Structure 1
Amino acid sequence: MKKTIVSALTTALVVGAASTTFAATNPFQDVPSDHWAYDAVAQLANDGVIEGYGDGNFKGDKQITRYEMAQMVAKAMAKQNVSGNDKALLDKLSAEFADELNNLGVRVSNLEKNADKVKWNGEARYTYTSQREENAAGSKDRDNDNELLFRLEPSAEVNNNWHVNARIDAKTDLKSDSEKKAGDSDVSLKRIWADGQYGNTNIKLGKLPMQLDKDLLFDDEISGASLSTGKDLKLTLQAGRYDLTGSTNNAAVKAAGKDAAGNDINDTASMQSVGLQYGKDKLSLGAAYHNLESDNFKKMAGYRNGEASDKAQIWSANARYAFDKNVALAGTYAENAKADNYKKAGSVELDYKGAEDANKGTWGAYAAYRHLGQNVAFDPSYDGAWAGTKGWEVGTNYTLAKNTVATLKYFNGEKLGDGKDAEKLFGRVEFKF
């Protein structure tokens, strides 16, 4: 390997010297100004990539070692504003001389950057729930659940504007802990979508998280697209297919998703939504409208008093005010104009602080009153109150150690319709990474 022919010219491409005429004093006495490699060698010397020898010579015909070449590559890597083609060449060089660069204590930044294009986040968590409902005899039926869940949420960079995101869940029910039958699986791809950001405009395509009213109404995914634009005042549009009977705890929706034999019916709803949200300083205000169409609405008990409807037309409003950095009051309300019964849902919540994943010892607490009509709150995200109930809910969370958070919630209220008692105890420990 000759320094002039291979090292200097190859590295010169990296620093952009091939088309530059260097007008400074000749750096090496054995490379005259009329030499074919003069411009490249002079530019490299000016940029500190090459130093020559102490006697003022470049000695271009001398064979160099891999260690010497690695030194030049390391210095070239330190340059800024390198073109795209030269970056690709530098990546190849840094990969070739990775061992030597490591011995020099050099971080191969471009290789690390490429590795960072795919990031993995996730959590492992244990959840315990004890749900109790009063029956016709006046006693309470209890349903206890113990669940382990492992979740991965990878994000891959496509270019400066686009990322691809996903959510993969694997879970097991400790209550039964029975072996799965052949073909069954507790592992599922819950979400996968492309996410594009152009200034204050965001575009999502695929199976993506709900963009509007995900707490009160839709703790779920939509298969389709969304567009959100704006800064303090943000406009959001979303459209696609929504699986009404996915993982909801709404008994009315679940029953409508079964045929006469009790088999699941894959009958998704077409969905279009629009929302406006304003947020600045201590105040946040918003409103949204959702139009859904599905035959499931025709089969939901008590949805209509007369002629059946296959539509849900829901409008909602929300507000939140932070009194200071610790205390905030929030409220949200929604109503389904196409339903005759259990068509209203709302929540008022007072929050104090909140556990921070990265800060051990941080904690928070809240108190809330919730009313969740099952014909509008199709899949609310509250872990205490559930669809078809109303009452009080309190909760607290605490960071036990860095990225380890414990949560405890308690709901006490009644079922809508018959007024029977309903309560729920919820506990969870999350290990986040």
Structure 2
Amino acid sequence: MKKILAIAAVAALTAGVSAYAANPFSDVSTSDWAYQAVSQLSDQGIVEGYPDGTFRGQRNITRYELAQIIARLMANEDQFNAEQRATIDKLAGEYADELDNLGVRVSNLEAKVGNISWSGDARMKWDQSYDSDKLGHADDNFNGRMRINAHAQVNDSTYVEGLLRTDMDFKNNDEDNDTYMQRLYVHHDFGNHVGVNIGKYAEFFGQTGMFFDSEVKGAEATYTANDAFSLTAGYGRFADWDNKWNSNLGDQKNTEYGYAQINGAAGRFAYTLDYIKGADQSKVEVYGGGLTIGLTDKFDVFGDYFKNSDAQGDPDAWTAGLGYGHQDDARVGSFRVSVARVDAEKNAILGGYTYDVSALDALKDKDVTGVKFWNAAADVTVAKNVRLHGEYDFDVKAHGTSTDYDDLATVSLNYVF
């Protein structure tokens, strides 16, 4: 392709970005049909001439020269609209090898195709869990997980997101390794303050991970005033909540819940207030919340409290702990350690904690009415985007049974990309 034709195409791509500019090249006159395109892109710093002041538009443009132009477009990508950025991303994908030779390292370049951005994580984990055939005794596991997230920008106010997940058991020789869509939903913004999710999306309650982490098949709307206040209300089916956790459910499946949440952060404080109401037969009306307070730049205290006022005996669950440090996947050597006390009664916890392993699983045993234990956790960044994680649950006391429950532990390497 002639260089002058390529420059005209690029100018058409970036139309509306820059005003008419003066011509810096001696061999491009004001009467040339491409005069405005060449002068405009030169003014933006996207095209350059030769040391003698010429442009030489009639010679063929090389892939290397075009890659240089694409790199400059990418450096100014925030000036373009969504359609223009999508075209630039496609060009970047086509000329990825040349851009790599130029030393261009733009965030997510290799992961972007059109309007779709890819990211993900992987984990290799050894852990212990309670074996249902050996009540209260821990069983060793070795497994892996990989999740690939696709974020597809539809327009300036709408995107579609999907999370593809694969779990693999490295210890047992079976073929029951699952690959499935863990999340798939549409998000739409109405103005600057209101957003809506529809489909299967993630929902979190509390501050500490005890209550709850689950996927919801439903719909929710969030109003965000600022960092200090947002309100979410939704309705749907929670994937991880079943009769193993809530004895009131019996053989019921797919119970539906309505929920509302207020959360925010201000200064050294972060908080959440939560309310969850299930169908009448579920005996679920849970309310509570969590608070994290930064005592210093390194130390913080945190805790959650929840009560199910619709279940017999008004069972509750709480945790309180102390943390030190701030772990960052991009900062090698950064770390965080914490210790917390956990106390939960049956029918207060409904399932789906964020711990990698937890003695809360004792509540799934039919005779157990409550469980108490200490949780110690540590995270350290051992290489860029590689995190070593460990947890240890000890001094486990299960109520309603004489079984002596084992302590639990887990160690994992976590990778983000």
TM interval, short-chain normalised: 0.7 to 0.9
Larger radius of gyration: 1
Deviation at 1:195, TM superposition (A): 4.0
CA distance in 1, matches of 2:302, 2:96: 56
Shift of 1:164: 1.0
Instruction: Tell me: CA distance 1:293–1:396, structure 2 relative to 1, closer, same or farther (3 Å).
Output: same
Cα shift at 1:337? 1.9
Distance 1:384 1:100 in 2: 46
Worse overlay, 227-236 or 379-388:
379-388
Quickly say closer, same or farther: Cα 1:201–1:86, change in 2 above 3 A.
closer
Residue in 2 aligned with 1:396? 377
The AA in structure 2 aligned to 1:346 is: W
Do the aligned residues in 2 keep the contact of 1:235 with 1:276 (CA within 8 Å)? Answer: yes
How many angstroms does 1:270 deviate by? 0.7
Which string of whole-angstrom CA distances, capped at 9 and with x for unpartnered residues, describes residues 116-146 of structure 1?
942222122223215499x9xxxx8524131
Q: 1:284 aligns with which of 260, 270, 285?
A: 270
Give how far 1:47 is off: 5.9
**Per the alignment, do residues 3 and 279 of structure 1 end up closer, same or farther by CA in structure 2, a change over 3 Å counting?**
closer
Q: Does 1:384 align with 2:379?
A: no
Instruction: Summarize deviations over 1:397-419 as a string: whole Å, max 9, x none.
Output: 24272213131312324323346
**Cα offsets for 1:70-93 (capped at 9, x unmatched):** 647744763654567766776777
> Residues 349, 423 of structure 1: CA spacing in aligned structure 2 closer, same or farther, 3 A cutoff?
farther
The corresponding residue for 1:417 is 400
Q: Does 1:222 align with 2:216?
A: yes
Whichever residue aligns with residue 281 of structure 1, its letter is G
Task: Give, as a single letter, the amino acid of the residue that structure 1 aligns with 2:174.
Answer: E
User: Contact 1:11–1:73 (CA<8 Å) still a contact in 2?
Assistant: no
Whether 1:164 and 2:161 are equivalent positions in the alignment is yes
Partner of 1:329 in structure 2?
301
Give yes or no for contact 1:389–1:413 (8 Å, CA) kept in 2.
Answer: no
Measure how far apart 1:429 and its partner are: 1.6
Q: How far did residue 106 of structure 1 move?
A: 7.5
User: Which residue of the other structure, out of 61, 64, 74, is the alignment partner of 2:59?
Assistant: 64
C-alpha change, 1:70 and 1:344, in structure 2 (3 Å) is: closer
8 Å CA contact 1:11, 1:72 repeated in 2? no
TM-score for the superposition, normalised by structure 2: 0.74
Check the 8 A contact 1:391/1:411 in 2, yes or no: no
Kindly report which structure 2 residues correspond to 1:198-217, keeping only aligned pairs within 5 A, or say none: 199-213=192-206, 215-217=209-211
- Native 8 Å contact 1:406 1:428 kept in 2: yes
Q: Deviation at 1:37?
A: 5.1
Aligned residue in 1 for 2:366: none
Over 6 Å off, 4+ runs? 19-22, 56-60, 83-96, 108-111
Instruction: Kindly state the Cα deviation for residue 148 of structure 1 after the two structures are TM-superposed.
Output: 0.3
Q: Distance in 1 between matches of 2:344 and 2:65?
A: 67
CA distance in 2, matches of 1:344, 1:12: 64
- 2:230 paired residue number: 234
CA 1:150 to 1:340, structure 2 compared with 1: closer, same or farther past 3 Å?
same
Structure 2 alignment gaps of length 5 or more: 364-368
* Aligned-pair CA distance for 1:201: 4.2
Is residue 161–residue 186 contact of structure 2 (8 Å, CA) maintained in 1? yes
Deviation at 1:360, TM superposition (A): 4.7
Matched, 1:368 2:323: no
CA distance in 1, matches of 2:396, 2:103: 62
Q: What is the rounded CA distance, in whole Å, between the counterparts of 1:396 and 1:374 in structure 2? A: 24
State whether residues 304 and 318 of structure 2, in contact with CA within 8 Å, keep that contact through their aligned partners in structure 1: yes
TM-score of the aligned structures, taking structure 1 as reference length: 0.72
Equivalent residue for 1:188? 180
Match of 1:407 in 2: 390
Say if 1:206 and 1:223, in contact at 8 Å, map to a contact too.
yes
Which residue is equivalent to 1:312? Answer: 284
How far, CA to CA, are the matches of 1:129 and 1:103 in structure 2?
Answer: 44
- Match for residue 117 of structure 2? 118
Structure 2 residue matching 1:412: 3-state secondary structure: strand
Matched, 1:352 2:333: no
Q: Could you tell me which amino acid in structure 1 is paired with residue 269 of structure 2?
A: L
**Does the 8 A contact of 2:121 with 2:415 survive in 1?**
yes
Alpha-carbon deviations, 1:300-358, whole Å to 9, x = none? Answer: xxxxxxxxx44311111323322112322222222222211462222222223365444
The separation in 1 between residues aligned to 2:277 and 2:288, in whole angstroms, is: 12
CA–CA distance in structure 2, aligned partners of residues 279 and 150 of structure 1 = 32
Partner residue in 2 for 1:299: none
Deviation at 1:40, TM superposition (A): 4.6
Q: Residue 303 of structure 1 aligns with which residue?
A: none
Query: What RMSD, in angstroms, separates the aligned Cα atoms of the two structures?
Result: 4.3
Distance apart, 1:189 and its partner CA: 2.8
Determine helix, strand or coil for the equivalent of 1:375: coil
CA change 1:372–1:85 in 2 (3 A) is closer
Aligned to 1:179: 174
Aligned-pair CA distance for 1:393 = 0.6
How many equivalent pairs are there? 391
CA–CA distance in structure 2, aligned partners of residues 341 and 151 of structure 1: 41
Q: Which amino acid aligns with 2:408?
A: L
User: Any idea what SS the aligned residue of 1:220 has?
Assistant: strand
One-letter code aligned to 1:203:
V
Tell me the distance in 2 between the aligned counterparts of 1:425 and 1:119: 35
Return the alpha-carbon distance in structure 2 between the equivalents of residues 25 and 124 of structure 1.
55
- Paired with 1:397 and 1:59, the residues of 2 have a C-alpha distance of 61
Q: Secondary structure at the match of 2:174?
A: coil
User: Structure 2: how far apart are the matches of 1:93 and 1:348?
Assistant: 52
The structure-2 alpha-carbon separation of the partners of 1:102 and 1:396, relative to structure 1 and needing over 3 Å to count, comes to closer
Equivalent pair of 2:240/2:352 in contact (CA under 8 Å):
no
TM-aligned CA distance change 1:155 to 1:94, over 3 Å: closer
Q: Aligned pair in 2 of structure 1 residues 240, 130: CA closer, same or farther (>3 Å)?
A: closer
Give the alignment partner of residue 142 of structure 2, picking from 135, 144, 147.
147
2:204 aligns to what SS in structure 1?
Answer: coil
2:72 matches 1:78: yes
- The Cα of 1:377 is off from its aligned counterpart by 0.7
